[in-house]
Amino acid sequence: MKAFFFLLLNAFLFAEGLVAQAQTNPPMIWHNPALAEKAVVEGRLWQTGLNQFYDRLPAKATGLVRTEVMNLAHNSAGTYIRFHTSAKKISIRYQVSGGLQFPHMPATGVSGVDLYAQEISGNWQWVRGRYQFGDTIRYDFPSIDSTVRVREYRLYLPLYNTVRWMEIGVPENQPLQWAAPETAAPIILYGTSILQGACASRAGLAWTNILGRNLSTPLVNLGFSGNGRMEKELIDLIAEHPAKLVVLDCMPNLSDLDLYPKEELLKRYRYAVETIRKTNPNLPLILTEHCCGLPGTNMDLGQRAGFATASITVAEIYQALVKEGFKNLHLLTATAIGFDKESTVDGVHPNDIGMLKYARAYEQLIKKILWR
């Protein structure tokens, strides 16, 4: 039966033309981001002092933050590599060290890369790749539209896997230059699996990546699946860096009020606001409700009720902090995110529909805050 399924899968893939063809002619020149002379992995706060080249937290965090957080920081969620080339063929090859997929998230989302091109006009285009998952993962972009005037490419790295090494190939005599590192202060986002990118079908559709494109602003993903808990250690690390705005979207991992009573949560949020604002007393901050507790999202009463309570709790914390005198605090409500029965894969994790809703709600609020 396995043989039958394999045949079936092959018929499926071939018929749709998805199987990567060998790109042997002309030979490819491979560029390794780890050997670049500048910082080419963007979407993170630390470029040096890392345990592993693609990490999202610095080596100095080892022993400070919990092991689970440190392990999840090996996942390249939300990071991306920017480069310039006029090549019409681009290939990516890399290895990862975790499992390729989850039951509710495909390999293209967990372990795949995703390539976008920004036109001179600022408009974003998606570059479709042919992928092959194996011991080495391969993405080929074989016939890039030469009529589009590309300012730069942005390659999103895997959302839920750990890149061991990666190389970007272009045909020989086609140059590839790494883009100049982003220098603007980023929007920093701290949160849970939803923020890390579960369960986008591909990396570019994680809501933080959609948002980064739409705002044209560097954006840092500190999403830690199941472990985004508004912890002092993470807040201290975030506070080291200048930011344009900080999002605190941890409630989905704090919705158990027995484990995290409201007083404890208020303490954590208050610490976050005070600490992050030490060097910038008016830095805009967004606190976010739990997107999945709205009526009509699903019919699981127990689950939904818990999420609704989480939203009420963070809204109360927001009100309490405003009452204490904190300014430029903002609440992103579940209603503004607007999840419905088609928005999640499992009642918690947005599918691509939910990702789009999440990104749009943040985009509207952030534009209002930054552009007012």
Q: Is 133 in the site for its own copies (CB under 8 A)?
A: yes
- For helices 262-276 and 301-323, the axis angle rounded to 10 degrees is 50
Between CA 246 and CA 190 the distance in angstroms is 8
Q: Does 71 bind its own copies (CB under 8 A)?
A: yes
Region of 65-73, 170-178, 215-223, 242-250 interacting with its own copies (CB under 8 A): 65-73
Q: Does 118 bind its own copies (CB under 8 A)?
A: no
Of 246, 261, 253, which is closest to residue 313 (Cα–Cα)?
261
According to the binding rule CB under 8 A, does residue 81 interact with its own copies? no
Copy the structure tokens of residue 177.
């230059």
- Per CB under 8 A, the segment of 126-134, 176-184, 308-316, 329-337 that binds its own copies is 126-134
- Classify burial at 89, counting beta carbons within 10 Å of its beta carbon; exposed 0-12, middle 13-18, buried 19 or more: middle
Site for its own copies in 23-62 (CB under 8 A): none
Least CB distance from residue 280 to its own copies, whole Å? 32
What gap in Å lies between CA 191 and CA 69, rounded to an integer? Answer: 11
Element (H, E) at 371: helix 352-371
Structural contact between residues 339 and 297, judged by C-beta atoms closer than 8 angstroms: yes
Q: Contact letters (x/-) for its own copies, 176-205, by CB under 8 A? A: -----------------x----xx-xx--x
d(CA 328, CA 75): 32
Query: Which residues 6+ apart lie within 8 Å of 62 measured at CB?
Result: 51, 70
Residue 116 CB, nearest approach to its own copies (Å): 8
Of 39, 84, 165, 226, which one interacts with its own copies (CB under 8 A)? 226
Smallest separation, CB 338 to its own copies (Å): 14
Note whether 122 binds its own copies by CB under 8 A. no
Q: Does 5 bind its own copies (CB under 8 A)?
A: yes
Return the residue of 124, 165, 271, 326 that touches its own copies, per CB under 8 A: 124
Q: Which of the ranges 125-133, 264-272, 323-331, 363-371 carries the binding residues for its own copies, by CB under 8 A? A: 125-133
> Does 73 contact its own copies by CB under 8 A?
no
Residues 235-294 that bind its own copies (CB under 8 A): 252-253
Q: Is 3 in the site for its own copies (CB under 8 A)?
A: no
**Contact between 136 and its own copies per CB under 8 A:** no
Query: HSE of 38 in the Cβ direction (CA atoms, 13 Å)?
Result: 12
Question: 166, exposed or middle or buried, with CB in 10 Å at 0-12, 13-18, 19+?
Answer: buried
- Cα–chain-centroid distance for residue 1? 38
Closest CA to 232 of 71, 73, 56, 65: 65
Task: From 16-24, 172-180, 262-270, 322-330, give the range in contact with its own copies by CB under 8 A.
Answer: 16-24
CB of 35 or CB of 299, closer to its own copies: 299
Kindly state the smallest distance separating residue 73's Cβ from its own copies, in Å: 12
x/- mask, its own copies, residues 302-331, rule CB under 8 A, reads xxx---------------------------
Binding of its own copies by 121 (CB under 8 A): no
Tell me the number of residues near its own copies by CB under 8 A.
79
Q: And the tokens for 292?
A: 């999945």
Nearer of residues 172 and 342 to its own copies, judged by Cβ: 342
Does 120 bind its own copies (CB under 8 A)? Our answer is no
- Supply 340's token pair: 């419905």
List the one residue from 351, 358, 362, 366 that touches its own copies (CB under 8 A). Answer: 351
Nearest to its own copies of 245, 361 (CB atom): 361
Please, which of residues 141-180 interact with its own copies by CB under 8 A?
141-148
Q: Rounded to whole angstroms, how far apart are CA atoms 293 and 149?
A: 44
Does residue number 349 form part of the binding site for its own copies (CB under 8 A)? Answer: yes
296: left (phi over 0), alpha (psi -120 to 50) or beta: left
* Residue 203 main-chain phi, psi, to 5 deg: -60, -35
Which residue, among 365, 338, 364, 332, has the nearest Cα to 350 in the 3D structure?
338
